[in-house]
Amino acid sequence: MARLLLFGGKGGVGKTTTSAATAVWLADSGLRVLLVSSDPAHSTSDSLGVEIGSQPTPIEGVDGLFGLEMDPESKISSVLPKLGDMMNSMGSSGGMGGLGSLSMMLDPNAKQEMDEMRSEVQTSDMVIPGLDEALAFDELLRHVEDPTWDVIVFDTAPTGHTLRFLSLPELIESWSDRIIRMMRVSGGLRSMLFGRKESESMKEELERFRRRVLHVRRVLSNEEITSFTLVTIPERMGINETLRAHTSLLEYQLPVPNCLVNRVTPEFDHPFLENRRNAELSRIGELKDELQNVEIATMELMDDEVVGLDALRGVGEELYGKVKILDDSLGPHSVGSALKHSIHRGMKREIDGDIERIFLHYPGIQRDELSLRSDDGVLYVGLNGRERAVETKIPTKASRVKAKLENDVLQLDIPLTEE
């Protein structure tokens, strides 16, 4: 399982630059890194100077680095049914398919309640608020659970979107309650005409999706997997937003060990710039007083925009120091200077005589959450129902593999001899 490094903050504070510089530095250190963005403005592509798409794309000039820009809106219909059609079917004015006759049969109070609830979903294009963020994090988790990655660096949307996702399970429960009330309002006549199958299917889908979101939230709150770095600027609004975000993230038990204050005015012998710098340092002091358990790093304003690999490598050295190639052990590996992270490799391989030995890092995972099977010589490792093919030297059968889970590491011993 990959280490997940999230970078978040209000818009325009340098999250994308910090994320991209971190990803380049880690890949240069010998790790296999996926840089992920859910920004529809394609800022990550602009920062790297390389066009990336909806599938992991190798970044030319950085061995081991891949980029991915997610488009969660394109996947909404495949994950959760849209609610508008169902709402309209419970009292719209269209023909029998829209139950217009049912709407007329309801007493005035019931019809008014139905109309009020249905007004929240005016068209079939509207879905549960926060669904796009949920899809982004759900797709992100697929990559985190892929053992071939060492680190996932996620350039998040502005912090408010992240917090909206974290509150989604409770929101889904609230919407489920509304849907159930509408079913009760439409009552037995609708069931008599059309049966309960459609209604039950919607409830089951909502519950299934809620459980998936809760699982993502558990992963995000596991400090062995996830680390959230707040990025801000030394202005009053930026500092206040950061303090609020920190409080909210802690409420959801997300680990927040780092905060980067970006674009600090450099030291110059000029009254205007001196006054500005002193005001900024005062605000940074306030931030340190409020966030005493968070490592506060600073980055001075640069004389040009940061675009392209050379510029990103310069930022990476400012944040993490000179690049050092990490040894091939699973870790943990402590990296960084201004910003610090603890990194595990996701996978390690070795050959011991006639045995291929594969080590997979799975922090906090229990035996009953893992599965192992093979199909046509390909070995699959499953985690909570999601399977990944694990490349082996020769085709193999799961029945021949010796598996052991110990200290958060799944060890697979695969015979290299024929049966």
Is residue 73 scored above 80 in pLDDT? no
Confidence of residue 332 (pLDDT cuts 50, 70, 90): very high
Is residue 330 scored above 50 in pLDDT? yes
Q: Which of 117-121, 183-187, 342-346, 354-358 has the lowest mean pLDDT?
A: 117-121
> Which pLDDT belongs to residue 200?
67
> Which pLDDT belongs to residue 335?
95
Share of the chain above pLDDT 90, in %: 51
Mean pLDDT of 290-298: 95
Mean pLDDT for the chain? Answer: 81
Mean pLDDT of 252-275: 94
Confidence of residue 307 (pLDDT cuts 50, 70, 90): confident
pTM: 0.82
| Contacts with 104 (C-beta within 8 Å, 6 or more apart), sequence order | none
CATH number of 3-73+134-159+217-343: 3.40.50.300
Confidence of residue 161 (pLDDT cuts 50, 70, 90): low
Mean pLDDT of 147-164: 82
Q: Which residues of 306-327 are buried (b: 16+ CB within 10 A; e: fewer)?
A: beebebbbebbebbbeebeebe
Is residue 250 scored above 80 in pLDDT? yes
Is residue 136 scored above 70 in pLDDT? yes
Q: Which is it for the CA torsion 127, 130, 133, 138, positive or negative?
A: negative
Structural domain boundaries in the chain: 3-73+134-159+217-343, 75-130+167-214, 347-415
Mean pLDDT of 383-389: 85
> Which pLDDT belongs to residue 94?
42
Distance, in Å, from the CA atom of 114 to the CA atom of 325, rounded to the nearest integer, reads 63
Burial of 49 (0-12, 13-18, 19+ CB in 10 A): middle
Q: Which of 13-27, 42-56, 110-124, 263-277 has the lowest mean pLDDT?
A: 110-124
For the range 76-81, what are the long-range contacts, defined as Cβ-Cβ under 8 Å and sequence gap of 24 or more? 76/127, 76/131, 76/132, 76/135, 79/131, 79/135, 79/138, 79/209, 80/127, 80/128, 80/131, 80/205, 80/206, 80/209, 81/201, 81/202, 81/205
What is the token pair recorded at 62?
């950085």
Short-list 244, 257, 221, CA closest to 159: 244
Q: Which of 207-211, 285-289, 348-352 has the lowest mean pLDDT?
A: 207-211
Could you tell me the fold of the domain covering 347-415? Immunoglobulin-like (2.60.40)
Distance, in Å, from the CA atom of 305 to the CA atom of 113, rounded to the nearest integer, reads 54
Confidence of residue 101 (pLDDT cuts 50, 70, 90): very low
